[in-house]
C-alpha cells in the first residue's frame, strides 16, 4: 500500500519477457533538467531468475545499460534531456 521506490520493467528480449526491478538512486541523480550532464543513477534490485534461463546475466546487464541510455531517464515519451547531456549509470 505504499511506494517502495522500485520501478518494475518488463524487458522483451529474443521472444521472452524478463522482469527487471530498478530503483532510482535519488541522492546521486540530477534533480534539475538544466544539469549538464543530467545524471541518472539506477540500482538493479533484482531480475526474475526464472526469466533469465537461456541468457547470460552479463548480457542482460549490458542490454539494460544500453536501453536506459537510449530511452533516457523516463522512457520513450520523455525526451526533455538531450542524449548528449545524459549520463546514465546502472549499479548491479
Banded pLDDT at 34 (limits 50, 70, 90): confident
In sequence order, the 6+-apart residues with CB closer than 8 A to the CB of 34 are none
Checking if the pLDDT of 69 tops 60, the result is yes
pLDDT confidence band for 11 (50 / 70 / 90): very high
* Gap between the Cα atoms of 74 and 56, Å rounded: 26
Cβ burial of 13 (10 Å; 0-12, 13-18, 19+) is middle
Q: For the whole model, what pTM was predicted?
A: 0.76
Q: Are strands 16-24 and 6-13 parallel, antiparallel or unpaired?
A: antiparallel
- Per the CB < 8 A criterion, the answer to whether 82 and 58 are in contact is no
pLDDT of residue 70: 77
Residue-level pLDDT at 81: 59
Of all helices (H) and strands (E), which one includes residue 38?
strand 38-47
Unique residue bearing C-alpha cell 542482460: 60
Indicate the pLDDT class of residue 46, thresholds 50, 70 and 90: very high
Amino acid at each position: 500500500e505504499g511506494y517502495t521506490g522500485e520501478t518494475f520493467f518488463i524487458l522483451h528480449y529474443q521472444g521472452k519477457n524478463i522482469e527487471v526491478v530498478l530503483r532510482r538512486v535519488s541522492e546521486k541523480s540530477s534533480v534539475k533538467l538544466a544539469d549538464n550532464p543530467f545524471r541518472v543513477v539506477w540500482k538493479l534490485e533484482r531480475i526474475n531468475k526464472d526469466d533469465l534461463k537461456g541468457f547470460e546475466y552479463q548480457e542482460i546487464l549490458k542490454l539494460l545499460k544500453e536501453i536506459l541510455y537510449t530511452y533516457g531517464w523516463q522512457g520513450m515519451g520523455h525526451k526533455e534531456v538531450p542524449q548528449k547531456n545524459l549520463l546514465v549509470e546502472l549499479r548491479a
